[in-house]
Amino acid sequence: EPEVTQTPSHQVTQMGQEVILRCVPISNHLYFYWYRQILGQKVEFLVSFYNNEISEKSEIFDDQFSVERPDGSNFTLKIRSTKLEDSAMYFCASSAGQGDYGYTFGSGTRLTVV
């Protein structure tokens, strides 16, 4: 079964450092997303991406965050200057279409900011 691949599975970084989280969505999917889940809390929407541009972003997705699809397969989330409160599980997801299509999530990257 096709899957969404995320790397690394765990990243530890110092506060103020830049991190890049990487994702390879399912190959024929057109819509890409990043979500995060702080330990014990809800899965929260960060950003959606379609046709090489951001479709929608949440209040969490401020100027410290950016996304990129540098080639035909990778989809990255960059956090420029990490804060302690950025510590969370970050999930990448993709879907074949809008509306009735559910997402397939990757296994996640656990980001720990120290």
Partner 1 sequence: QKEVEQNSGPLSVPEGAIASLNCTYSDRGSQSFFWYRQYSGKSPELIMSIYSNGDKEDGRFTAQLNKASQYVSLLIRDSQPSDSATYLCAVNQGYGNKLVFGAGTILRVKS
Instruction: Please report, as ranges, the residues that interact with partner 1 according to CB under 8 A.
Output: 31, 33, 41-45, 48, 50, 54-58, 91, 95, 98-108
Smallest gap, in angstroms, from Cβ of residue 7 to partner 1?
14
Q: Which is nearer to partner 1, 14 or 100 (by Cβ)? A: 100
Smallest gap, in angstroms, from Cβ of residue 52 to partner 1?
14
CA 41 to CA 45: how far, in whole Å?
A: 12
Q: Which is nearer to partner 1, 75 or 91 (by Cβ)? A: 91
CA 91 to CA 108: how far, in whole Å?
A: 5
Smallest gap, in angstroms, from Cβ of residue 104 to partner 1?
7
Q: Which is nearer to partner 1, 15 or 101 (by Cβ)? A: 101
- 36-73 in b/e burial notation, b at 16+ Cβ within 10 A? beeeeeeeebbbbbeeeeeeebeebbeeebebebeeee
Cis peptide, bond prior to residue 25, ω within 30 of zero: no
Smallest gap, in angstroms, from Cβ of residue 16 to partner 1?
27
